[in-house]
Structure 1
Amino acid sequence: MIADHAGAVDRVVPACPQWTVRDLLAHLTEICDRVITRFGGEACPIPETASAAEVLRLWTERGPEADALLAADGDGKSRGDIMVMDAFTHELDLRYALGVPPPEAHAAWLRSFEVLVGGLGTSLGKHGLPGMRIEIEGATWVAGTEPVAAVLSGAPVDVYRSLAGRRSPAQIAAMDWLGDPEPWLRAFTWGVFAPPEEAVER
Structure 2
Amino acid sequence: MAGDTDAAREWREAYERVSGLVATTQLRDPGALERAVPATPDWRARDLVAHMIGVGSDTLRDAVDDDLGEEWTQRHVEARRDRTVPELLEEWSELAPRIEEHVATTDPAPLGDVVIHEQDLRSALGTPGGRASGGLAMVREQMADTFGEGLGERGPVRLEATDEDWTWQSADGDPAVVLRASGFDLARAVTSRRTEEQLRSYVAAGDLGPFLDDFAGLGPLPTQALPE
Q: TM-score, normalised by structure 1?
A: 0.84
Matched residue, 1:65: 98
Give the C-alpha shift of residue 104 in structure 1: 4.4
> In the TM superposition, what are the counterparts of 1:34-113 in structure 2 within 5 Å?
34-38=58-62, 46-73=79-106, 76=107, 80=108, 82-113=109-140
Matched residue, 2:68: none
Q: Give per-residue Cα distances to partners, 1:128-185, cap 9 Å, x unaligned.
A: 4211111221212122x22122221211221111111111111110114222222322
> Root-mean-square deviation (CA), in Å?
2.0
Q: Runs of at least 4 residues of structure 1 off by over 4 A?
A: none
Aligned residue for 1:124, secondary structure, equals coil
> In the TM superposition, what are the counterparts of 1:123-202 in structure 2 within 5 Å?
123-125=150-152, 128-136=153-161, 137-143=164-170, 145-147=171-173, 148-190=175-217, 192-201=218-227
Distance of aligned partners of 1:103 and 1:47 in 2 relative to their CA distance in 1, 3 Å threshold: closer
Give the Cα–Cα distance (whole angstroms) in 1 for the partners of residues 165 and 110 of structure 2. 24
State yes or no: 1:117 paired with 2:117: no
Instruction: Point out the more displaced range, 174-183 or 162-171.
Output: 174-183
Percent of aligned pairs with the same amino acid: 29
Give the C-alpha shift of residue 48 in structure 1: 3.2
Which structure would you say has the larger RCO, counting Cα contacts within 8 Å and 6 or more residues apart? Answer: 2
Higher helix share: 2
Q: Which amino acid aligns with 2:155?
A: P
Given that 1:15 and 1:201 are in contact with CA atoms closer than 8 Å, whether structure 2 keeps it comes out as no
Distance of aligned partners of 1:28 and 1:104 in 2 relative to their CA distance in 1, 3 Å threshold: closer
Specify every segment of 5 or more residues in structure 1 that has no aligned partner in the other structure, as ranges.
40-44
Q: Which amino acid aligns with 1:199?
A: A
Distance of aligned partners of 1:150 and 1:47 in 2 relative to their CA distance in 1, 3 Å threshold: closer
Q: Give per-residue Cα distances to partners, 1:106-142, cap 9 Å, x unaligned.
A: 12022101121022112322xx421111122121212
